[in-house]
Amino acid sequence: MKRFVNGDEIELVDTGAEIIQGHDRLYVKTADGTFTAAIARIKGELVISYRGNQYRIQQKQSRPRSTVAQDSGELRAHMPGQIVDVRASVGESVTRGTTILVLEAMKTQQPFVAPFDGVVAEIRVAKGDQVTDGAILAVVSPVEVKHE
């Protein structure tokens, strides 16, 4: 199960620890002994104090795919990662579904495609760049239809 711990997404795994609910705390029995953990819910996240450390735990929330790309043509990173391929250049005409660039995150490659027929207006990254969640990677401008 994936969770955000102190802002970083991690995969929580079963360590074999036994957790027992006490009146005002948790008791964690491990191979190394039994330890206590205090827990509080603050603004939708759990804050756990365990063995001298504090951890903020949030459920991984699925983000609805934004319509921003469909409306504005902005291609934004959905998570941090590295650009492994840039397949289009500024000024190039593209059709809907044409791969503009490829982001690798968590050992998975994710292609970013043109949301509509248009022209690549901006490419803000290069192969090898590290990007953050939400960064604008490229912008596609729609093709203007001329009426006669």
CATH at residue 94: 2.40.50.100
- Show the domain range for 44: 2-59
Are residues 74 and 54 located together in one domain of the fold?
no
Query: Is the per-residue pLDDT at 15 higher than 90?
Result: no
Model pTM? 0.53
Are residues 87 and 55 located together in one domain of the fold?
no
At 3, is the pLDDT very low, low, confident or very high (cuts 50, 70, 90)? low
3-state secondary structure of 68: helix
Is residue 131 in a domain?
yes
Are residues 17 and 49 located together in one domain of the fold?
yes
Is residue 85 in a domain?
yes
Rg, Å, the chain Cα set: 22
Are residues 100 and 125 located together in one domain of the fold?
yes
Are residues 80 and 131 located together in one domain of the fold?
yes
pLDDT of residue 57: 74
Distance (Å) of CA 47 to CA 41, 56, 74? 6, 5, 36
Is residue 34 in a domain?
yes
Distance CA 6, CA 48 (A): 11
Model pLDDT for residues 30-75, shown as the tens digit of each residue: 888 898 888 877 777 778 888 888 877 776 554 444 434 556 889 9
Model pLDDT for residues 67-115, shown as the tens digit of each residue: 345 568 899 998 889 999 999 999 999 998 899 999 998 778 889 999 9
Are residues 54 and 100 located together in one domain of the fold?
no
Which residues partner with 136 through β-bridges? 76
